[in-house]
């Protein structure tokens, strides 16, 4: 799949910024007291498309996502650059507006669904809480809509599961619930940080297929963080490769994977023999 053989490869920036992106990060600098964690990261995510972010552990993938959400750990701050979402610079917003963006326009799905769920609250009430906050609906209506959402994310027997608690579900079902919660806010962008890493391989594929179906139906933009280049080969439209807090390569996923320019990217690919399968 050497896309670059047919036509000259566009420069990464031109390719990623071709149509007005929903999310555009420019030269983002994030640091803790004495260290720079992100050293000028630029990337973008388009509506209806998936931007994949790969890179070794500690390269700054999660920090990038947390910076978008305004959820950087204590002591870690964005000190430079911009994060434009739908034309607005999120770094310039106050905490209240930031929360609104997080709750309504940007959904999140992280690696550990248990950590995202309240162990002592029924599933339908957890999803319902978001609906009540967002749309001001009654508890009864919220529960009804929660069941509909569980149906959409293909949780089996949604009426029955709605009344259960997180520990009563499988890992894959829990992650579906987390996706339902992310959808409840009607987001335009989903940040998915290793959403399937904790799941077994067949469940992984189904969860990713689900995200893709939802993406098509809702014209969602997805920022997908994963170690797994095979996942990227299947699901990413654009691909960003990070190393030590910097983007070393970016462009259409087929081009980056088929004709990597940076030695680090080549090395990542060489370590995954089945990436072209």
Ligand X SMILES: Nc1ncnc2c1ncn2[C@@H]1O[C@H](COP(=O)(O)OP(=O)(O)OP(=O)(O)O)[C@@H](O)[C@H]1O
Would you mind telling me the total number of residues written for the chain in this entry? 277
The whole-angstrom separation of Cα 84 and Cα 104 is 16
Phi and psi at residue 29, to the nearest 5° = -115, 125
Name the one residue in this structure whose structure tokens are 């050293």: 39
Whether residue 166 contacts residue 114, with contact meaning beta carbons closer than 8 Å, is answered with yes
The whole-angstrom separation of Cα 97 and Cα 90 is 9
Q: What minimum distance in Å lies between the beta carbon of 76 and ligand X?
A: 5
Name the one residue in this structure whose structure tokens are 């750990």: 73
Residues in region 76-95 near ligand X by CB under 6 A: 76
Q: Which of 42, 44, 51, 59 binds ligand X (CB under 6 A)?
A: 59
Q: What minimum distance in Å lies between the beta carbon of 33 and ligand X?
A: 8
Among left, alpha and beta (phi > 0; psi -120 to 50; other), residue 86 is left
252 binding ligand X? (CB under 6 A): no
Q: What minimum distance in Å lies between the beta carbon of 97 and Mg ion?
A: 26
Convert residues 43-82 into a mask of x (bound to Mg ion by CB under 5 A) and - (unbound): -------------------x--------------------
Choices 4-12, 68-76, 199-207, 269-277; region in contact with ligand X by CB under 6 A = 68-76
Please identify, using beta-carbon distances, which residue of 123 and 240 lies nearer to Mg ion: 240
60 binding ligand X? (CB under 6 A): yes
């Amino acid at each position: 799949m050497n896309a670059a053989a047919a036509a000259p490869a566009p420069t990464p920036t031109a390719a990623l910024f071709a149509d007005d992106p929903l999310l555009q990060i420019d030269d983002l600098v994030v640091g803790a007291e004495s260290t720079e964690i992100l050293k000028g990261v630029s990337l973008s995510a388009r509506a209806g498309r998936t931007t994949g972010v790969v890179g070794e552990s500690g390269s700054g993938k999660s920090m990038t996502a947390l910076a978008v959400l305004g959820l950087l750990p204590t002591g870690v701050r964005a000190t430079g650059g911009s994060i434009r979402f739908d034309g607005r610079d999120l770094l310039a917003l106050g905490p209240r507006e930031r929360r609104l963006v997080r709750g309504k326009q940007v959904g999140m799905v992280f690696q550990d669904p248990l950590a995202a769920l309240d162990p002592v609250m029924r599933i339908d009430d957890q999803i319902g809480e978001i609906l009540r906050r967002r749309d001001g609906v009654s508890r009864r209506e919220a529960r009804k809509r929660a069941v509909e959402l569980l149906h959409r994310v293909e949780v089996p027997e949604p009426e029955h599961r709605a009344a259960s608690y997180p520990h009563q579900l499988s890992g894959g079902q829990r992650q579906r619930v987390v996706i339902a919660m992310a959808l409840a806010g009607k987001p335009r962008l989903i940040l998915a940080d290793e959403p399937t890493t904790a799941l077994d391989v067949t469940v992984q594929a189904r969860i990713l297929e689900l995200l893709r179906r939802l993406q098509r139906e809702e014209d969602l933009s997805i920022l997908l963080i994963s170690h797994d280049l095979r996942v990227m080969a299947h699901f990413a439209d654009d691909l960003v490769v990070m190393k030590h807090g910097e983007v070393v390569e970016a462009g259409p996923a087929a081009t980056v994977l088929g004709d990597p320019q940076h030695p680090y990217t080549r090395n990542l690919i060489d370590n995954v023999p089945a990436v072209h399968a």
